[in-house]
Amino acid sequence: MADLQGRRILLGVTGGIAAYKSADLVRRLKDAGADVRVVMTRGAMEFVRPLTFQAVSGQPVHDSLLDPQAEAAMGHIELARWADVVLLAPATADALARVAHGLADDLLTTICLATEAPLAVAPAMNRVMWAHRATQDNLAVLRRRGVHVFGPGAGDQACGEVGAGRMLEPMELVQAVAGLFSEPLLQGVSVLITAGPTREPIDPVRYITNRSSGKMGFAVAQAAAAAGARVSLVAGPCALPTPPGVERVDVETAQEMLDAVTARAGEAQIFVASAAVADYRLAQVAASKLKKSRDIMHLELVRNPDILGTVAGMPNPPFTVGFAAETDNMRAYAEDKRRGKGLDMIAANWVGRPGTGFDADENALEVLWEGGGASLGPAGKLQVARELIRLVAQRYHDRVQV
Ligand code: C5P
């Protein structure tokens, strides 16, 4: 669970269909400990009634700049000063345009001008509107001004089309907002991460893979980016959204993962190998679909390259962090692996136990380094990832200083 304890979030809801999701967003922000006030535009009120937001936030909803009574209660300047962050979700193409041009003709745009708090926007619109030069130019202006842009995601749209322009899901937005408050422990440091399984083809329709979901590696990427790192994420096949601010490279096989990693490892200051790389691949991939003509079939497998070992063995390796999934004797095996591969740090977790490890949302790690160690979790993978990044940052900075 993201930590927003005591953070004051001013949520600006503008007039798009995704506004219905913002009611859930308020709940999730509050669950994470935030204090939320909602400002709605006239357009937003056509989609969702203010009473909905009043009920979920537990606070009156603000919508008018020129209502003396509302201004007397908590005026636009007070709201602008109150906020630790102003988040526009959904942010329509119109809202982005108006904020980009500094208009102040309603309560929300006025607050955007009057606040000194960070401003974040979660765009939501039809894919053609999103791709339009006008929208992209406005976004470029906002980004230059330091506005944080969360998403949008891609997928089915309310208008029946499919493409980029969906508002991020409420939990993704909560995490992105939490990221704004995290300490810049890895500011400007380049971090390369592998995640997910690899997929080793047998023939054009079949492959060998494993149960890795990629959730832990993606959480590490998100936590590293939130800590200010420049993150490249080399991902095997997994259906997860790319964390905000992360450069993602999709690969399938171990060999492709190795190629993508070696192309980037020279630049990386930290390398985190969380991928569950298949240990073996087919000696020969069949060019056409194999027929079931025999009762027994033998597949000849050959070892895959050790990606982590390759990086750790480079002449000037980055700070290397490996993962180890163990079913027994975890600490001893993990420490052997750390020494064997010459790693700076290893994060070991139990697999085959319900609730943590592969595909679970929670995890617990034993982290080991030369002369020390720490236990993290059990907790949500993002929480564990944040704590891991804290340890990595400490050890990395210690090493750089020596
Ligand atoms: O040897 P084992 O597979 O248990 O090591 C696990 C660690 O090594 C993980 O960090 C994993 O990402 C990495 N690894 C790798 N390439 C392989 C096998 C494992 O990078 N071929």
Which residue pairs from 323-331 have beta carbons closer than 8 angstroms and sit at least 24 positions apart in sequence? 323/216, 323/273, 323/274, 323/347, 323/348, 323/349, 324/348, 324/349, 325/276, 325/349, 325/350, 325/351, 325/357, 325/358, 326/350, 326/351, 327/351, 327/352, 330/366, 331/366, 331/368, 331/373
pLDDT tens-digit readout, 283-297 = 999 999 999 988 999
- Tell whether the model's pLDDT for residue 361 goes beyond 80: no
Q: Is residue 324 part of a domain?
A: yes
**Number of separate domains in the chain:** 2
Task: Give the ranges where 48-205 is alpha helix by DSSP (H).
Answer: 50-57, 68-74, 76-82, 93-100, 107-114, 127-131, 133-144, 170-180
Q: Is residue 338 part of a domain?
A: yes
Residue 158, amino acid: A
Is residue 238 annotated as a catalytic residue, yes or no? no
Q: What percent of the chain has pLDDT over 70?
A: 97
**Residues 252 and 343 reside in one and the same domain:** yes
With a 6 Å cutoff on the Cβ, whether 195 touches ligand 1 is no
Model confidence at 355, in pLDDT bands (50, 70, 90)? low
With a 6 Å cutoff on the Cβ, whether 324 touches ligand 1 is yes
Question: Whose alpha carbon is nearest atom 6 of ligand 1?
Answer: 324
3-state secondary structure of 282: strand
Model confidence at 359, in pLDDT bands (50, 70, 90)? low
Catalytic pick among 159, 171, 301, 314: 159
Q: Is residue 174 part of a domain?
A: yes
The preferred substitution site among 304, 308, 344 for testing ligand 1, maximizing ligand atoms within 8 Å of CB, is: 308
What count of Cα atoms within 13 Å lies in the side-chain half-sphere of residue 213?
Answer: 15
Task: Give the ranges where 317-402 is alpha helix by DSSP (H).
Answer: 330-341, 381-401
CB 342 within 8 A of CB 370: no
CB 192 within 8 A of CB 270: yes
**Residues 175 and 252 reside in one and the same domain:** no
With a 6 Å cutoff on the Cβ, whether 323 touches ligand 1 is yes
d(CA 64, CA 107): 6
With a 6 Å cutoff on the Cβ, whether 347 touches ligand 1 is no
The parent domain of residue 239 ranges over 190-401
Q: How far is the CA of 306 from the centre of ligand 1 (A)?
A: 6
Which numbered atom of ligand 1 lies nearest the CA of 310? 20
**Residues 28 and 158 reside in one and the same domain:** yes
**Residues 329 and 233 reside in one and the same domain:** yes
**Residues 349 and 206 reside in one and the same domain:** yes
**Residues 109 and 215 reside in one and the same domain:** no
Residue among 32, 29, 144, 138 at smallest CA distance from 91: 138
pLDDT tens-digit readout, 179-233 = 888 888 999 999 999 999 999 999 999 999 999 999 999 999 989 998 999 999 9
Boundary residue ending a domain (158, 179, 200):
179
Q: How far is the CA of 199 from the centre of ligand 1 (A)?
A: 15
**Residues 275 and 205 reside in one and the same domain:** yes
**Residues 19 and 48 reside in one and the same domain:** yes
With a 6 Å cutoff on the Cβ, whether 94 touches ligand 1 is no
**Residues 154 and 236 reside in one and the same domain:** no
Q: Sign of dihedral through CA atoms 102, 131, 226, 315?
A: negative
What distance, in Å, lies between the first and last C-alpha atoms of the chain? 35
Question: Whose alpha carbon is nearest atom 9 of ligand 1?
Answer: 323
Boundary residue ending a domain (114, 144, 179):
179
Q: Is residue 1 part of a domain?
A: no
CATH number of the domain bearing residue 326: 3.40.50.10300
State residue 316's pLDDT score: 95
Q: How far is the CA of 337 from the centre of ligand 1 (A)?
A: 9
**Residues 253 and 219 reside in one and the same domain:** yes
- Tell whether the model's pLDDT for residue 400 goes beyond 80: no
**What pTM does this model have?**
0.69
Q: Is residue 297 part of a domain?
A: yes
Question: What percent of the chain is helix, strand and coil (3-state, nearest 5)?
Answer: 35, 25, 40
Q: How far is the CA of 336 from the centre of ligand 1 (A)?
A: 13
Question: Whose alpha carbon is nearest atom 21 of ligand 1?
Answer: 306
CATH number of the domain bearing residue 64: 3.40.50.1950
The preferred substitution site among 258, 307, 320 for testing ligand 1, maximizing ligand atoms within 8 Å of CB, is: 307
**Residues 105 and 231 reside in one and the same domain:** no
d(CA 182, CA 225): 10
* 372 CB neighbour count, 10 Å cutoff: 10
pLDDT tens-digit readout, 27-84 = 999 998 899 999 999 999 999 999 999 999 999 999 988 877 777 777 889 999 999 9
pLDDT tens-digit readout, 101-128 = 999 999 999 999 999 999 999 999 999 9
Which numbered atom of ligand 1 lies nearest the CA of 308? 20
Tokens at 370, concatenated: 């030369």
Mean pLDDT of the chain: 93
How far does Cα 265 stand from its chain's mean position?
Answer: 21
Which numbered atom of ligand 1 lies nearest the CA of 275? 12
Boundary residue ending a domain (144, 179, 214):
179
